[in-house]
A and B are shown apart, each in its own frame.
Chain A
Amino acid sequence: MAEVDKLLIQEIRSGADDAWMRFVDRFSGRLQAFVRKKIRDSATVEDIVQETFIGFINSLPNFDESRPIDSFLFTICRYRIIDHFKKTGRRPDISSLTTTDSQQQIELPDAIRGASTIYRSGERRRAEENALLQILQQEVTLLIENEAWIKLACLELIFVSSTPNKEIAELLQLSQPQVASFKHEFVDKIKRQMLRLGVNADLFPELYPDQQA
Chain B
Amino acid sequence: MAPTPPPLSKRAVVDRYYLEHRAKVIDIAAFLDRVDRAQGDGADDFRRTALEACCRILTDGQPERARRVLELLSDHSTEPIAKSPMKGATGAVDLGAKGAR
A and B physically associate: no
Instruction: Give residues in B with beta carbon < 8 Å to A.
Output: none
